Amino acid sequence: MTRIYSILSFFLCSGIAAAFLFGIAGNGPSAQRAADVNKGMEIAQQICSTCHIVGKDAKGVVKADVPSFTSIADKPGQTTEFIVGRLVLPYRPMPDLKLTRLEMADVAAYIMSLREKQ
């Protein structure tokens, strides 16, 4: 019985600790500043343009099967959160680019700034 309690309290405590840590990590960068579209554009040009077409007017593909940023932005129901999610957990062959949360938010904001559909 006591064993169950200690296991339960362990999970409870680590849950609270995790929530606390994530709370700090989550609030930290966004508390400092909001996502920056221009910074996101720089990241896109430097890091993402090897594979993706990142500009507003450019159409077509750099490599077959890599969606352009305008087409990603214009996907039905596209959201900043979905784009950040794809950067946190990229599907193959998209690599894990090891961006910080703030860089992800910047580049996602840049991609969404290309959206033409409402």
Q: Is 91 in the site for ligand HEC (CB under 6 A)?
A: yes
Q: Is 50 in the site for ligand HEC (CB under 6 A)?
A: yes
Q: State the nearest-atom distance from the C-beta of 69 to ligand HEC, in Å.
A: 7
- Alpha-carbon distance of 37 to 107, in angstroms, equals 7
Quick one: which of 35, 41, 73, 107 contacts ligand HEC (CB under 6 A)?
107
Is the Cβ–Cβ distance between 108 and 35 less than 8 Å?
Answer: yes
DSSP assignment letter at 48: I
Q: Is 93 in the site for ligand HEC (CB under 6 A)?
A: yes
- φ/ψ region of 89 (left if φ > 0, alpha if ψ in -120 to 50, else beta) reads beta
Q: State the nearest-atom distance from the C-beta of 106 to ligand HEC, in Å.
A: 9
